[in-house]
Structure 1
Amino acid sequence: MPKRLTPEDRWETDFEVPVPGEGRRIGPLEVLFQRLLNRTERLKNRVADILGLPWDATPPDTLAGLAGRVGTLETNQGGTTLSAHRTAPVLDHPDGSVTAAKLDAVRNAPTITPSPGDWLLGGLASGTGVGKLPIGQANGVPLLNASGALASADAYLSRGSVTSAVDWNTLTNAGTYEIASGAFGTGSANTPPAVTQQGHLLVLKTSGATTQVYVPKSADPGIYWRQYAGGTWSSWATAGVMYGSNSNGSYIRFADGAQICWGVNVGAGPDPQTIIYPAAFVSPPAVVVTLSDWPPGHISVDSQWGYGTTQQRFRKYYADGTVYTSTAYWFNYIAIGRWK
């Protein structure tokens, strides 16, 4: 009478198959069939666990029937079997050696645009990092773009615009930032001495230090820089000098805010004489005016008045105190003050 075998949910790897030509013994065949049933049962249960639906595996199973089952499973898994396999907690091996610690999900990133710390593929050995390909953000830039391709290197070069109040201690990702005036507004901290000047911030970064270099886009001639090392930011340092000239004279600006304007052999005009500075000051400067072409002792400059940030007015006098009105002489001047 045939013996009914009951399948067991376990892997079987050691099969005792009778050697051809030898007498067949029911013992080895029974063991063989039992192990085949066990493997079938184990496979059926693992498929059901992975795909999330029962898999009865009732024989006989035709190709058409199998295709219909696959279609049903794909529909229940949102149209793709990839998501089902991706979320499988454990993919066992017949010898039972593969566990979640060795082979986790194929990837943990839920979308193609990853977040910091996401990775692709699973660990193929013990440990949490072996065999993983990072796809999350590095220094604020995704390693993959929305199409799944490698992100452009330009993403590391241009960090975009900073338009609102910010603590400059937080601008530490390597690259170039466009700085708007809002980045100096109320609530900002640790800004360079450029006050409200728009410009570009370059961040250079190595394993041991971070350097910020700020270059204003305005008339500010300064270049400002500082460095973070050993857990501390240094003070902002300044360098830079600007020279210029126009029809009103010449000027030189220093990064610390000092400015000098001067003119040589400026044609004298009717009284009162007006000097127009070649560059404006933020407050009236100190001014010295001398005549450069007159009979010594006959004409002097006095009563400078009309102080301003863009011009200076003065009168010329004869030795007897009367106002000099001729235009035949020339004068020199120098003004020292601040441009910021």
Structure 2
Amino acid sequence: MLIRHFKGTTKCLAGLLLLALIYAFYAETSRVQEQRKSALVDSSINKRGSFKLLIIILSRTSDVARREAIRNTWLSKNHNGVKHLFIIGTSGASAELRKHLTSETKTHQDLLLLSELQDSYDTLTEKVLQSFSRVYRDYKFEYLLKCDDDSLVLVDKLLTELEKWENRGTGKELYWGFFNGKAQVKQSGPWKETDWIFCDYYLPYALGGGYVLSRRLVQFIAENSKILKSYKSEDISVGLWLAPLSNIERKHDVRFDTEYRSRGCSNEYIITHKQGIQSMNTIYQMYKASGALCMKEVRHRNSYQYDWSVPPSKCCNRQPGIP
């Protein structure tokens, strides 16, 4: 009886040992597979590099001349730790345009193509959402500058200002641009909003000609992209998405000439929007030769310092003497 019981116990222990070995085998296999996956992801990211500043420039398939103008002007100088990408939606593009984009990609290696997005004013917000998701997944960066392909950016000055901001050691995330807090909700035209329900004004947002976000803000938008409500204007949407977050410095900067039309020419500007190909070339050559953007500073309309101490509807009173 004792021998039979011992044999039964031995079989039970052997069975348990076998189960443990099987579990250990599968656990180790799973661990190795996860390590391999992680290594592949890390390898992919490392191949792309790690950057202080990632610049994404919204462009369209046909805007070849604009991209060339940017490459030949404000992106012509290599800056350490800076990477740029032209963001293009290719859904619905003709065979001829696709062929050109393939050639352009081989030559410059600076296009990010969104194959499921058709470029139009109606898809700008979706374009930004997809762009943020892609670059957050594929690149390591500390800051992201989003701008349009009719913006001229002084990258060296931008980097200097980022270093100054970092040296302040605020411990906050950065949302940097030219802010508006009293833009009334559009009731007509191509930017008409049919389901804005929050208030009579849009929430404070940085104008879309160019704004900077620290990586964790891009991460927040990318990881929640499936549940974020989109509106006609991409910059207004970004302001709304980031509105609930508290640990942010919303840095209003009059050196960002990023409104729907340029305020003029000031040698203080870091970004200036609404530039044609010729004016971009002229301004950049002036800057390259003299360190100044303008042959003569001009002001088409006044600017303002954002007053964060008052309600948004009273934030932004234009005054003379501000760039």
Superposition TM-score, scaled by structure 1 size: 0.21
Task: Compare the two structures and name the one with the higher strand fraction.
Answer: 1
Superposition TM-score, scaled by structure 2 size: 0.22
Task: Compare the two structures and name the one with the higher helix fraction.
Answer: 2
Higher relative contact order structure (alpha carbons within 8 Å, sequence separation ≥ 6):
2
Q: Which has the larger radius of gyration?
A: 1
